[in-house]
Chains A and B, each alone.
Chain A
Amino acid sequence: AQSVAQPEDQVNVAEGNPLTVKCTYSVSGNPYLFWYVQYPNRGLQFLLKYITGDNLVKGSYGFEAEFNKSQTSFHLKKPSALVSDSALYFCAVRDLGKSTFGDGTTLTVKP
């Protein structure tokens, strides 16, 4: 069975500082990994994905994620946080067409 863990319920950073939102996964086959963001009262929006290839994946809004197979991690990063990045972030793994999501991490960026 596949699973995803987001160890931090909340991440707080100051605007302009780098941010990291952590994610670890467990899957029996090849890992297909995704990050999504959810703003209040909205559906989820796709940010980026890792399927194969380069371990550093670039996505929307300046976000990137680093895939680390030995640590089974897929951390979301951004070099310089914006107040508008404040939202709920979900990591997900997909296998046999089914997506399993982590519990989410609330990112708060303070001015």
Chain B
Amino acid sequence: KAGVTQTPRYLIKTRGQQVTLSCSPISGHRSVSWYQQTPGQGLQFLFEYFSETQRNKGNFPGRFSGRQFSNSRSEMNVSTLELGDSALYLCASSLEGGINTGELFFGEGSRLTVL
């Protein structure tokens, strides 16, 4: 069974540009969540999608957005990039046996560098 796949794995952008990251969850998983990981802030929750609906949102500015498609694949977009957006962006999927009881399965992450 294939794991969570994130693309691209590495990317470099300049300030002011925008970026789109993609995540394919494990087959059968309908919940997809996104996290930002930085050395200073640790793991910060961005948002969670379930059946194409955003169910939860973290404390990030509106420049960060996401969506989920009918096949459960998800994308997140960051517009007007800032230097502080440099981070490892992790996607995780979950089999919804219960909203809080399912463990997360993480992808390898997309490492974004903003110059």
Contact = CB atoms under 8 A, between A and B. Distances in A.
A44 interface: yes
Interface in B61-115: 90, 92, 99-101, 103-109
Given A98-B45, A98-B56, A43 B99 contact: no
Nearest to B103: A46
Contacts of B45: 98-100
Mostly, the B contact residues are strand
A46 B33 contact: no
Contacts of A41: 108
A94 B43 contact: no
Interface string B11-43: 000000000000000000001010100000011
Interface of B: 4, 31, 33, 35, 42-43, 45, 48, 50, 55-56, 58, 90, 92, 99-101, 103-109
Interface of A: 30, 32, 34, 36, 41-46, 49, 51, 90, 94-104
B106 A45 contact: yes
Given A43-B90, A104-B42, A97 B103 contact: no
29 contacts: A30-B100, A32-B101, A34-B103, A34-B104, A36-B104, A41-B108, A43-B92, A44-B90, A44-B104, A44-B106, A46-B104, A46-B105, A49-B103, A51-B100, A51-B101, A94-B100, A95-B100, A96-B56, A97-B31, A97-B33, A97-B50, A97-B55, A97-B99, A99-B104, A101-B35, A101-B43, A102-B42, A103-B42, A104-B42
Residue among B4, B56, B92, B100 with the most chain A CB within 10 A?
B100
Given A43-B90, A43-B106, A101 B42 contact: yes
Nearest to A103: B42
Which 5 pairs of residues, A with B, have the shortest CB-CB distance?
A43-B106, A101-B43, A46-B103, A32-B100, A44-B106
Nearest to A32: B100
Nearest to B109: A43
Contacts of A94: 100-101
